[in-house]
Structure 1
Amino acid sequence: MNEFLDSINDESNSNILIVCHGFFMNTLQKELKSRGVNGQNIKRPKNGTLYLYEK
């Protein structure tokens, strides 16, 4: 997870779309929040729904 987020952090001036499994998304949002990224707190992600997180 950390390696993945570090690698996309280099693209900080671009919009990035991440498509993932619900379990991974829960872990991802926790790590994003710990890195100071703002977004919804999602307990049960829904299929095909776009969730926006911003620096």
Structure 2
Amino acid sequence: MPAPPHWQSGTAQLLPRLIARRTRGPLFLTDRKAPAGTPTLDVCPETGRATALLPSG
């Protein structure tokens, strides 16, 4: 399993700007479609791309 992300203060200050107007969906996505069998919670329902953070399962 990949190591959890480590957020530094600069990232923490930018996150509110990134999520300010979001109403749904994952914030970080991979640049490709999720492979078959990926849990539903780890796939963006609009794009079909996998989430780029830790898996839910």
TM-score tier, shorter chain, comes to: under 0.3
Question: Which of these two proteins has the greater Rg computed from alpha carbons?
Answer: 2
**Greater fraction strand:** 2
